[in-house]
Amino acid sequence: MPKGKLFLIPNVLADNTQDAVITPQVREVIANTKVYLVENMRTARRYISSLKLGVNLDHVHMEILDKGTSPEFINRLMQPLINGADIGIISEAGCPGIADPGALAVEHAHKKGIQVVPLSGPSSMFMALMGSGFSGQSFAFHGYLPIDKKDKSAAIKKLEAESLRERRAQIFMETPFRNNQLLEDLLKTLSPQTKLCIAKNITGSDEMILTKTAQEWKQLPLDLHKIPTVFVLQSF
């Protein structure tokens, strides 16, 4: 029996944007997939319903895949693939496998010789870089910076120094309710002429992607509290 395929299915980044950002290819895969690994069942079901594909959710099987999922449990979750069924992975937002527990299932699939099929869709990391004006020739994604204030300051200084030395754009983010504190720490720590791109609520109706120097940002009041935001810095 041929093995199933593991589909990496993009989710929306902002509410009510599915008609604009979810491709026909993604819709077709969702319409024909009955087994999913998801971070949150309620939001995954709501997402599938929002696409209005006529999917009967009573006939869809979902299992939780998060950062706490053990390798042994992942082996069990992936069994339908061995039996010939396709599985879709749906992240909470954006593309699975990037700063996302979906990578655990992808790693397992490669070990088992299962085909992995990433589908194109919105990615806040790449869309922030695209809109930043920084070169995409060299960049790095660092996920979340340390919470401790001293450690965070040291991390920012290290990213800035690496950016200057390697001519590299540095991409990172924060839990939305800590965005304002991160911005304050960035503006206190960065050199005045270091450029900082702030990309908030990407694809949403109030999307903002704007690049200015740290000094210029100090003159602009900005409230990012609880708004999904990606930060990109580059030192020249």
- Cβ atoms of 39 and 27 within 8 Å: the answer is no
| Beta-strand pair 116-118/139-144 | unpaired
Q: Which domain holds residue 22?
A: 6-118
Q: What is the pLDDT of residues 185-220, one digit of tens each?
A: 999 999 999 999 999 999 999 999 999 999 999 999
Same domain, 94 and 178: no
CATH number of the domain residue 210 falls in = 3.30.950.10
The pTM (predicted TM-score) of the whole model is 0.92
CATH number of the domain residue 79 falls in = 3.40.1010.10
Burial (CB count <10 Å: 0-12, 13-18, 19+), residue 216: middle
Same domain, 104 and 135: no
Q: What is the pLDDT of residues 152-192, one digit of tens each?
A: 999 999 999 999 999 999 999 999 999 999 999 999 999 99
In a domain, residue 76? The reply is: yes
How would residue 101 be classed by pLDDT, with cut points 50, 70 and 90?
A: confident
Please tell me the distance from the alpha carbon of residue 39 to that of residue 78, in angstroms, as a whole number: 15
Please tell me the distance from the alpha carbon of residue 74 to that of residue 97, in angstroms, as a whole number: 15
Same domain, 67 and 144: no
In a domain, residue 1? The reply is: no
Please tell me the distance from the alpha carbon of residue 125 to that of residue 109, in angstroms, as a whole number: 24
Same domain, 141 and 219: yes
Same domain, 178 and 101: no
Q: What is the pLDDT of residues 79-99, one digit of tens each?
A: 999 999 999 999 999 999 887
Same domain, 10 and 90: yes
Q: What is the pLDDT of residues 40-83, one digit of tens each?
A: 999 999 999 999 999 999 999 999 998 888 888 888 998 999 99
